[in-house]
A and B are shown apart, each in its own frame.
Chain A
Amino acid sequence: EVPLVESGGGLVQPGGSLKLSCAASGFSFRESPIYWVRQASGKGLEWVGHMKTGPHNFATSYAASVAGRFRISRDDSKNTAYLHMSSLKSDDTAVYFCAAPDGDYGDPDPFHFWGRGTLVSVSS
């Protein structure tokens, strides 16, 4: 069983918006922060941002490259997290992974669980 499953990727024009989903199963989602990591083709991993758990006020943090354009949310009742992306640029083209620790360790969280990723292509 895959603990995290991303969906919602696709082709979008520059300046457009897209919402990715990350469905969790097999672990206590509400007790784990959720992270988004992306990887452009042939490149390394880039942390996009994360959202903490309820006891930590669902605090969010974002990479400078996406701050003000991307927003993370979560619905613990649905065991699902979301990445809301807007003002997309060609540089945002990448496979987007969601990841999570197997508990709330505090920064820096180790990412025990990963999804298989969803491809976002930004092109006209």
Chain B
Amino acid sequence: SYVPTQPPSVSVAPGKTATITCGGDDIESQSVHWYQQKPGQAPVLVIYYDRNRPSGIPERFSGSNSGNTATLTISRVEAGDEADYFCLVWDGDFYLFGAGTKVTVL
């Protein structure tokens, strides 16, 4: 098994696009879920099965998965998007979270 790799931090100006990656060998053969967590709060599912948005999640959030990298994209970033983002994969035996990426809105 492996732990999916995420960059520790991403900084983005309001209105711009934030790209958060989740890397792993042939990760495209797995399904990836993405969670947003704000300080002191429980995580929130923002993307599931690579590219699906749960109800209530803005269209600004999108996902993709190709090759060795899954990507969460936040378009037209707002101050309220500042949070930690975690990817989650299943390696056939265990659920594995990435270490998380802190998104800072400048």
Q: Which of B42, B86, B88, B95 contacts A114 (CB 8 A)?
A: B42
Counting contact residues on chain B (CB < 8 A from A), the size range is 20 to 34
Which of B37, B95, B96 neighbours the largest number of chain A CB atoms within 10 Å of its CB?
Answer: B95
Chain B residues contacting A47 (CB-CB under 8 Å) are 88, 94-97
Specify the chain B residue showing the minimal Cβ separation from A50.
B95
- Known: A45-B43, A45-B86, A116-B42. Is A110-B33 also a contact (CB below 8 A)? yes
The CA-CA distance from A50 to B93 in the complex, in Å, is 12
- Known: A114-B42, A117-B42. Is A44-B90 also a contact (CB below 8 A)? no
Q: Which of A44, A50, A61, A114 contacts B97 (CB 8 A)?
A: A44
Q: Say yes or no: A108 contacts B43, CB within 8 Å.
A: no
Chain A residues contacting B48 (CB-CB under 8 Å) are 110
- Known: A44-B100, A97-B42, A114-B42. Is A108-B86 also a contact (CB below 8 A)? no
Main secondary structure of the interface of A (DSSP, over half): loop
Q: How far in angstroms is the closest Cβ of chain A from B13? A: 26
Q: Say yes or no: B89 contacts A108, CB within 8 Å.
A: yes
Chain A residues contacting B94 (CB-CB under 8 Å) are 47, 61, 63-64
- Known: A45-B43, A114-B42, A114-B43. Is A108-B100 also a contact (CB below 8 A)? no
Chain B residues contacting A112 (CB-CB under 8 Å) are 45, 54
